[in-house]
Amino acid sequence: MRKYLLIGASAFVLGAGAMAYVSQQALAAAQPKAKTYRMLGLFGDVLDTVERQYVSEVDDTKLIESAIDGMLTSLDPHSGYLSPDSFDDMRDQTRGEYGGLGIEVTSEDGVVKVISPMDGTPAALAGIKAGDYITAVDGASVLGMSVTDAVKQMRGKAGEPVVLTIAREKSDPFDVKIVREVIKPKSVTARMEGEYGYLRIGSFNEKTTDETEAAFADLKAKNPKMKGLVLDLRNNPGGLLDQAVGVSDLFLDGGEIVSQRGRDPRDVERYNARPGEITNGLPMVVVINSGSASAAEIVAGALQDRKRAEVVGLTSFGKGSVQTVIPLRGGMDGALKLTTARYYTPSGRSIQKTGIDPDLEVASSREEAQAIANKVFQFSEASFRNALNADEGKIRRGAHEPAEAPPADFDAKKDFQLTRAKDVLRFGSVAATPKLPKPTAKLAEVVTGARVAVAKPPAAKDAIAK
């Protein structure tokens, strides 16, 4: 308040005319602030009333943290407040080593939903799938809990079991017993698929670029006659922006990878590849699906736009926004995870909500093809009620018949999307690859069977179950 008084005193010596002008300006500026201060007073009144009259004693810290988190999550699904413990957990997660189950989850109106299990983790090995709902932990309901509180229920010492109750589309609820482990997910795996190399990137943590470069070097050294490379980004929930840039850089010979643009049109940051790429021009195909998000979409979009690789699979998740983690008092009071920019592919596409469309659309199964024809079953950024809009006002592709799905005689134990990716390498391009007949999925078909009776509005916060 003293600062405002000093400003007023300084203005007074300028004379009556100047004072009248300054007063009008100050009044106009003060009006919105006055409303803000009134609402802050209202918050204090509500907190005081809850403290005095709620049926049982309350934890003030928890109430205020929840209020801060609610304010941020009302902006978009990916902004939120990280308590000091959650902030420490997030730093462990991005370092690529932490304790827990290995599930990335979000919250939809009090319902915990799995975004993706991480490759090789206890959750993945136990059969947890993207889109599953976690309704209880060790028999105690987590419905209505914040995602942070639900994640705390799933944490525990390595070696201790935990029982998750899972609700899944077209299935009765069931229990899954999982033994907690110290999670050290290797984000990159590699193998040969016939004459073609195969690199699988499951997430983008601080080690991903180095692991990708080392995995490819080892693959090439053991298979010098490799004829092409498949980069598999399916069900990759994303991660660190600098690692997406680093991985893209490995396969691009200079030029732009991605740009990010904030509120101010002049606030543009561009990321470029350095000269030279590690494959010496080997043909590449990238495989994506609706679980490929964020950093995975940056890589797919960069390689697609720069004509370095063609993309096979399904339209990606559509998370084209950038979150900045802002520590509060050096992390002592936790941190804000705040959406600060949209990112754009080299051609200038904002893929927020719309996703990366593949050059060859391929469903992994006939059931998945039918799900695409029934838009109601699709889970993507666009399904969040308060998702940030695409900058150009584009909308995500609706229900439609996918271009391809496995023929009736295709071996269900094989990976159809990977098979078609290798076909593209063998024939040299998507255009030259013989196309298969469209699946017989029926648009807007009413699919019978058990359905999970849960609401699907906005996400509250992303986290890792540990």
Biggest distance spanned by C-alpha atoms of the chain: 90
- Which of 231, 223, 135, 158 is CA-nearest to residue 452? 135
Which residue in the list 319, 337, 461, 466 is annotated as catalytic? Answer: 319
- d(Cα 112, Cα 369) in Å, to the nearest integer? 26
Q: Is 319 a catalytic residue?
A: yes
Please, what sign has the CA dihedral across residues 439, 319, 241, 145? Answer: negative
State how far Cα 435 lies from the chain centre. Answer: 32
- In the numeric block, which tokens belong to residue 14? 């300028």
CA dihedral 56, 57, 59, 63 (to 10 degrees): 50
- In the numeric block, which tokens belong to residue 339? 């959406």
- d(Cα 141, Cα 136) in Å, to the nearest integer? 4
- In the numeric block, which tokens belong to residue 333? 């009071």
Which residue in the list 69, 132, 249, 305 is annotated as catalytic? Answer: 305
- d(Cα 340, Cα 261) in Å, to the nearest integer? 8
- d(Cα 359, Cα 311) in Å, to the nearest integer? 5
State how far Cα 274 lies from the chain centre. Answer: 27
- What DSSP state is assigned to residue 459? B
Which residue in the list 107, 116, 294, 321 is annotated as catalytic? Answer: 294
- d(Cα 293, Cα 233) in Å, to the nearest integer? 9
3-class SS at 359? coil
Q: Is 305 a catalytic residue?
A: yes
- In the numeric block, which tokens belong to residue 99? 């304790």
- In the numeric block, which tokens belong to residue 223? 């298979």
Catalytic residues: 294, 305, 319
